[in-house]
Structure 1
């Protein structure tokens, strides 16, 4: 098929430029790629190079005196800071070593005095026993002193008794299903009323100065935080304590807590229990009297 020659349309094709035509632009005569390659140097660099060729005696710009002084001051400050940092590090290290040495000396003094206190306490107990055993009245006083010491919790005790383990209800979601401080108080009072001679909770010996109370989210005994389960050891007659416990008012309360709220309670008889002594209390008002 031939194109319609009489349609009146104009073709956009033109004849290639003649390279010998000096009136055409250089990019037309050289070709676009050759022109870009030949003129790739930035015009500013070309201008600078042209000025350098025209004025060869022109000297490069050098930093002024102010710049040199500033650089010198900066170097001096850097050196001074480095020296001061090194001195401070040395002083800190010496101070730390001195503090460590002081702490070690004080710890050694405390250990020495603690050992001396134990020696004096042993000597006092020996002299006291020797004096009390010398007379009938002294032996009676010694027996009474031993009973009071057991009650006060100032001496460790060993003997048969019962072991009671209590804990929160399985999957407890509220205070009613958890062991509270007042629950432990009722348990201890019931054991005292059942004939217990010495009691401890999670290793904390109870005395007439002990307190069972809640502090934050934990129950404290002798100002020590305890965590469940709570193990209560009671030295006494293991044959009579369980029966008497059920007959006490607080014992009945614990049976109600077990059946109603699901608190865990387990009591077993033990042939031998060992309870530690409570820390020696500091006398704040009592003073030794003179013998008549």
Structure 2
């Protein structure tokens, strides 16, 4: 049995998976993902305050916007967003909007610092320390808000946009010519998320040479986020008994579990980059020793 396991570990794929699993438990990635989920759920509702003001200014239909996210988010999570946005729609004020921006930046920066800390543990050295870490976390919290707004713009830019352009340009059947956009926008949404994760990985990885790779983990994390969200949404949609367990808290628990899942995926992407980085260093070292 031990010999079989030893031979299996010599296989490249098995060896890499083993290293990733060992790092997952030794670096306590699950704890960091739980911390990230906690701060993200605190960030979500201030962001919704800002989104409510944005939707009101743009005269966008809330129901159609949430329908566009039905593929990626569980129904219970969409229900939370719908109820909260409906409440905010009748209670908007400048003070609430400014408070939403402040709290979103505050909690998002705390989430970013949590990510930086786990990256520090994985690589064994920090990229930012002290005031520099606070400044970088504020920058990435602002970048997170920009990513959310860009994602919203992609999601809500559906047939209504092409209908409007058709009326302005007097072009018939413009909507039918852009049916592919209905699925193409999800590819664009994944690309926006990929760009954010890529920048996050680049600036939280050590800056000394050789620079750790960031693209493989970012690609894997972006695609895994989409696939994991689709699977999780499908599982929750087909499960009718979780509300019996959690009662009125079922929707909030589902949102927390989804955020925890996303946190694990994002951090595991960085773990993959670290494993690739270690293998490259070992290969370079063997090359220098062989000269």
Which structure ranks higher in relative contact order (CA pairs < 8 Å, sequence separation ≥ 6)? Answer: 2
Structure richer in strand, relative to its length: 1
Larger Rg: 1
Which has the larger share of helix? Answer: 2
Q: TM-score w.r.t. structure 1 length?
A: 0.21
- Using structure 2 for the length normalisation, give the TM-score: 0.21
